[in-house]
Amino acid sequence: MRITTWNVNSIKQRLPHLLGFLEEAKPDVVCLQELKCQDEGFPRAEVEGAGYAVETLGQKAYNGVALLVRAPLTASEIRRGLPGDGEDVQARYIEAVVSGEGSPPIRVASIYLPNGNPVDSPKYPYKLAFLERLRLHARDLARLEVPVVLAGDYNVIPQAEDAADPEAWRHDALFLPASRAAFRALLAEGYTDAVRACDPRDGLYTFWDYQAGCWQRNQGIRIDHLLLSPQAADRLVSASVQKHLRGLDKPSDHVPVTVRLSDG
């Protein structure tokens, strides 16, 4: 099973790129973030026409997450929203059990973590609280002892080697010690960073800002992650970054990241 995460930075603007990627790579599950549309505004007909069932949690102009599941796989037990805060109305988490004939069930989540900037505003405490809620939910999922993939834009640069210029991010919410510690606490619940498990090299990035020629100078950061429970990590075959999509006309500032899991 191939599972991809991709912050598309507006599904309506990036629909041609998404459809091209679905045709090119044929992932089994796609976790999308930053849809920037409500559920009824998602281009469902076009994506279903490409062979994918769609589950969304949208929000007008901001946020928004989705799960795309390629037939004959199906999604069930849909959870919309991260547990732990009944007053949180931001559309940042969707989860489902994906299964099919001959394919063992796997629980997959699409996550769009808060950016957290500016750090002296309420946005940063919200980011840390969201990470703590995610850690507690990840612990509950791990207790199920089933394959779990927590995929998405985490807005966390885990280590210095995950940034072309770490010093430039020193005071940013993505790289502050508390953000990185919260990410490590999530891993400590028994989860594996799939990309780093497969490729420890420096220079492996998933995001390049639109400003200052960051793409042309390869001034990127790695903030899009797929975290695997032990049962999913046991099935990990490969992980890869589809960097070439950043070079398309009017691209997202993020690129897809894909893991391949064996059938068990």
> Among all residues, which ones are annotated catalytic?
112, 153
Task: State the Cα–Cα distance between residues 167 and 43, nearest whole angstrom.
Answer: 40
Contact partners, residue 33, CB within 8 Å, separation at least 6: 5, 6, 7, 8, 64, 65, 110, 111, 112, 152, 153
Which one-letter amino acid corresponds to residue 212? A
DSSP 192-249: EEHHHHH---S---SB--SSTTTTTTT--B--EEEEE-HHHHTTEEEEEE-GGGGGSS
Helix (H) or strand (E) holding 7: strand 2-7
